[in-house]
Amino acid sequence: MSKRLANIAWETFSALPLTEKTSFLMQSDGAPYHTLFAQQFDYALLDQLATLANEIRAIAKTRVGAEFLSQQVTHKRAMLYFSQPSSRTFLSFVSACQILGVQTGEVRDTAISSEFKGESREDSVRTFSSYFDLIIMRTPEKGLAEHMAWVLSNSDRPIPIINAGSGQDQHPTQALLDIYTLLRSFERGGGLRDKTVVFCGDLLRGRTVRSLSYLLTNYPNVRQLFVAPEPLQVGTDVLAILEQKGVPFARTDDFHAAIREADAVYMTRIQDEWDNAKGESAAIDTHRFKFGLDELALLPPRAIIMHPLPRRDEIVTAVDGDPRAMYWRQMRNGMWIRTALIAMTFGCEKRIHDYFRHNN
């Protein structure tokens, strides 16, 4: 049974552990209403989303199919509220909305919005909810999407929020597209079970790592290896979850040994925008945590290389042509899985299944 976020005080809700928060965020049929955390997605829901994304991408291949999809959510408008830099997440959400016929508006620069005049975030978001039916938001603040979801659910115009990246904390839709990429890549290789996923780079401040690490715990016996220089190693809160769930994991700085055991290598950028002092990240020796041609030679033949992008120099471009380099396909997968998420949020999953069954 889903509980309503409107029936709980903010102080009570915000103090709950994540696993207890999730039931307040789902619709009664199990679809997400607000999408805020990776913890909202279990094995069954991930499977449902991946199936829907596969159907959507198949339907979209023909003109009549694309036209069918573009009629599904024409009665809704989405606001993209991005107060942090973004190219692909922003564009993939815009594209996902376009595929379903959702019209979009955007605020990307708070210097030209009323926040510049001193308006609170709460008031800004309530303003958006007067004109739109969904808010997709990216912010540097950790808990803001969660708080806004509560504010909206307790307003006279409750509308859903999708978290498109919240500080260093969570990036649930990136984790969805990462899981979707892994599922597709291992479709003919025994599925996403008994695999080793190697995370490398800035694991402390990378929100994509935090969200994906959690989602992977939904799959049986998926080992997680965390490869980073000590100051950028993954947080103990992430490890505590893995321990509690009995997931095999290890922390190491031996990238080459980890690559030899990998089914997937997930590279990340050094997130120096979070440095406390200027040059803090630059002082860390990261040269052993990059993926070049030597690393490619160590990678097992059926393993894949992933990256949430944007990249700097942590994967050399010479690797791009290798069939195991999955990051460009991974990015396009993001458009399909976000389309599936929006379709599910607005309850048009069944119509898409029916169309697929009759036409594909």
Restricting to residues 57-96, which ones interact with ligand NCD according to CB under 6 A? 88-89
Which C-beta is closer to ligand NCD: that of 21 or that of 269?
269
Give catalytic status of residue 171 as yes or no. yes
Is the previous residue joined to 310 through a cis bond, with omega within 30 degrees of 0? Answer: yes
Alpha carbon distance 63, 349 (integer Å): 20
Minimal distance, residue 10 CB to ligand NCD, in Å: 26
> Least distance to ligand NCD from the beta carbon of 337, Å?
13
63, 117, 287, 358: the active-site residue: 117
Between 197 and 226, how does the x/- string for binding to ligand NCD read (CB under 6 A)?
Answer: ----------xx------------------
Beta pairing, strands 103-107 & 223-227:
unpaired
DSSP secondary structure, 209-262, as one string: HHHHHHHHTTSTT-EEEEE--GGGPPPHHHHHHHHHTT--EEEES-HHHHHHT-
Should residue 269 be labelled a site residue for ligand NCD when binding is judged by CB under 6 A? yes
Q: Where are the alpha helices (DSSP H) in 154-197?
A: 172-185
Given 76, 121, 147, 171, the residue binding ligand NCD (CB under 6 A): 171
Window 130-169: residues binding ligand NCD (CB under 6 A): 165
The CB-of-168 to ligand NCD minimum distance in angstroms stands at: 9
| 196-200 sheet: strands from edge to edge | 249-252, 223-227, 196-200, 264-267, 304-306
Give, as one character, the DSSP assignment of residue 353.
H
Q: Which is nearer to ligand NCD, 310 or 347 (CB)?
A: 310
89 in catalytic set: yes
| Beta carbon of residue 282, minimum distance to ligand NCD (angstroms, whole number) | 16
For every residue of 72-110, DSSP letters joined together read TTTT-EEEEEE-S--SHHHHHHHHHHHHHT-EEEEE--G
Among 22, 129, 174, 218, binds ligand NCD (CB under 6 A): 174
Question: Is 338 an interacting residue with respect to ligand NCD (CB under 6 A)?
Answer: no
Pairing of strands 264-267, 196-200: parallel
Question: Among 145, 258, 309, 340, which residue interacts with ligand NCD (rule: CB under 6 A)?
Answer: 309
Q: Is 55:351 a contact under the CB 8 Å cutoff?
A: no
- Which sequence positions are flagged as catalytic? 88-89, 117, 138, 171
Interface contacts to ligand NCD, rule CB under 6 A: 88-89, 165, 171, 174, 207-208, 269, 308-309
